């Protein structure tokens, strides 16, 4: 994990996370220059490196300021940008009332270097609006907490997402921000950038197993697929829940919904790091899609009471991880289904045995 690689300043945030394998390497480049974003690049070289021309990156024309060396080692690149936070109220009888939008490209962000933990492989990007007339952020902030992984496993806190070494976790946190209505709900706009030949699709998978995330039976994945193939290039994956506590429990759950994936070429994400890497192709051959993730619903009072909201999403390369039944669940199911079956078989055997042992005092007539 490198903070502002090749530059000693701390007025802007660029975090480079590199995972090296025996024959390839993965790059995650997080940045808050403009809208907070992450650039994901997979290469077929274990020694590929990130290069940044800082003078050009911080200029008015950043195209070409960020690249991977050697360039021909890149096999796939994509980006995710967190563009806007909407707030609206569903108070009756007025219906939906939208408040002024929080544009994340206009936020002022703290130095990420203060929260960088090289041992735990975590960092937190925290910000507030540059101008806050209503004072909603006077005692609060919006944050993105990044966690990188060296091996597969499962996160220890709800929603206990299953991860691999090819993925990183991002936690969106809204803490202490005063809602502008009595029944406020929040919506986070997420944009993705794909180069020519790849397309994003939204998948929903349901399961009867809620062992790791109680009462939640749906997993959503925003996957990138080649237009002429069936393999998966990259993904965003999350469970259909958010939480209203720093130490989440089942009762702290907040409903989470994805409101459809739409083409967004008409509104390119304002992120300097994305413009620097994709250059002129961002407005021509690249495909930009946008997805709204809403938090709240019938249990929307959770945020108003605790003023805390956290939503976890997994980002990575290849196929998203799939949860399977644990040995404990398989054992319980086997016992629950096997015991009645065993009793039925045993009873049948006893009945047959009893019928064979029947006898009479009368001699059979030959």
Do 248 and 342 reside in the same domain of the chain? no
| Tens of each residue's pLDDT in the chain, 366 residues | 999 999 998 899 999 999 999 999 999 999 999 999 999 999 999 999 999 999 999 999 999 999 999 999 999 999 999 999 999 887 655 667 889 999 999 999 999 999 999 999 999 999 999 999 999 999 999 999 999 999 999 999 999 999 999 999 999 999 999 999 877 899 999 999 999 999 999 999 998 888 889 999 999 999 999 988 778 999 999 999 999 999 999 999 999 999 889 988 656 667 999 999 999 888 788 999 999 999 986 545 678 888 999 999 999 999 999 887 656 556 666 667 767 877 888 888 888 877 766 555 666 676
268 in a domain, yes or no?
yes
323 in a domain, yes or no?
no
Structure tokens at 119: 């041992």
Do 87 and 176 reside in the same domain of the chain? yes
249 in a domain, yes or no?
yes
Give the chain's domain count: 2
Amino acid 258: pLDDT: 95
Do 225 and 351 reside in the same domain of the chain? no
Amino acid 358: pLDDT: 57
Do 310 and 335 reside in the same domain of the chain? no
Rounded Cα–Cα distance for residues 268 and 331 (Å) = 51
Instruction: Return all residues near 277 (Cβ < 8 A) that are at least 6 apart.
Output: 29, 39, 66, 67, 77, 79
Which residue, chain included where needed, has tokens 């967004």?
264
Structure tokens at 269: 């994400």
Cα dihedral value 120, 121, 125, 126, nearest 10 = 0
Amino acid 228: pLDDT: 82
Amino acid 300: pLDDT: 52
353 in a domain, yes or no?
yes
Rounded Cα–Cα distance for residues 363 and 366 (Å) = 9
Do 172 and 285 reside in the same domain of the chain? yes
274 in a domain, yes or no?
yes
Q: What is the pTM of this model?
A: 0.88
Do 346 and 293 reside in the same domain of the chain? no
Which residue, chain included where needed, has tokens 């090296």?
20
Do 361 and 246 reside in the same domain of the chain? no
The secondary structure of 133-182 as a DSSP string is: TT-TTTT-EEEEEEEE-SS-EE-SSTT--EE-TTEEEEEEEEESPPPSST
Name the CA radius of gyration of the chain, rounded.
26
Do 244 and 333 reside in the same domain of the chain? no
Rounded Cα–Cα distance for residues 313 and 241 (Å) = 10
Amino acid 267: pLDDT: 65
Do 75 and 220 reside in the same domain of the chain? yes
Do 165 and 263 reside in the same domain of the chain? yes
Do 205 and 286 reside in the same domain of the chain? yes
The secondary structure of 317-365 as a DSSP string is: ESSPP-----HHHHHHHHHHHHHHHHHHHHHHHHHHHHHHT---SSPPP
CA 96 from centroid of its chain's CA atoms: 27
Do 248 and 346 reside in the same domain of the chain? no
Amino acid 309: pLDDT: 96
71 in a domain, yes or no?
yes
Which residue, chain included where needed, has tokens 């077929």?
44
322 in a domain, yes or no?
no
Quote the domain boundaries for residue 357. Answer: 328-365
80 in a domain, yes or no?
yes
54 exposure class (CB count in 10 Å sphere: 0-12, 13-18, 19+): middle
């Amino acid at each position: 994990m490198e903070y502002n690689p090749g530059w000693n300043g701390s007025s802007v945030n660029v975090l480079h996370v590199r995972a090296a394998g025996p024959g390839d390497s993965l790059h995650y480049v997080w940045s808050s220059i403009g809208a907070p974003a992450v650039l994901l690049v997979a290469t077929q070289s274990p020694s590929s490196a990130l290069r940044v021309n800082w003078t050009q990156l911080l200029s008015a024309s950043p195209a070409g300021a960020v690249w991977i060396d050697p360039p021909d080692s890149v096999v796939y690149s994509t980006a995710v940008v967190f563009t806007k936070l909407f707030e609206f109220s569903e108070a009756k009888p007025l219906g939906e009332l939208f408040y002024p939008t929080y544009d994340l490209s206009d936020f002022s962000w703290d130095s990420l270097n203060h929260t960088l933990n090289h041992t735990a492989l975590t960092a937190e990007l925290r910000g507030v609006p540059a101008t806050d007339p209503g004072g909603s952020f006077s005692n609060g902030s919006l944050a993105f907490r990044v966690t990188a992984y060296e091996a597969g496993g499962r996160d220890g806190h709800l929603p206990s997402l299953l991860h691999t070494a090819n993925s990183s976790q991002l936690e969106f946190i809204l803490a202490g921000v005063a809602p502008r209505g009595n029944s406020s709900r929040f919506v986070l706009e997420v944009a993705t950038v794909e180069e020519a030949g790849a397309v994003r699709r939204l998948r929903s998978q349901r399961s009867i197993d809620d062992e790791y995330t109680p009462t939640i039976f749906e997993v959503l994945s925003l996957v990138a697929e080649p237009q002429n193939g069936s393999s998966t290039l990259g993904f965003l994956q999350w469970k259909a829940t958010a939480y209203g506590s720093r130490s989440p429990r089942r009762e702290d759950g907040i409903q989470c919904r994805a409101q459809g994936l739409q083409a967004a070429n008409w509104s390119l994400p304002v992120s300097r790091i994305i413009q620097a890497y994709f250059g002129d192709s961002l407005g021509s051959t690249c495909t930009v899609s946008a997805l709204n993730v809403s938090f709240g619903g019938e249990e929307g009072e959770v945020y108003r009471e605790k003023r805390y909201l956290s939503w976890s999403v997994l980002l990575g390369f290849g196929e998203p991880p799939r949860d399977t039944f644990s040995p404990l669940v398989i054992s319980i199911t086997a016992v629950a289904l096997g015991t009645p079956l065993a009793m039925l078989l045993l009873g049948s055997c006893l009945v047959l045995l009893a019928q064979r042992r029947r006898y009479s005092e009368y001699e059979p007539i030959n």
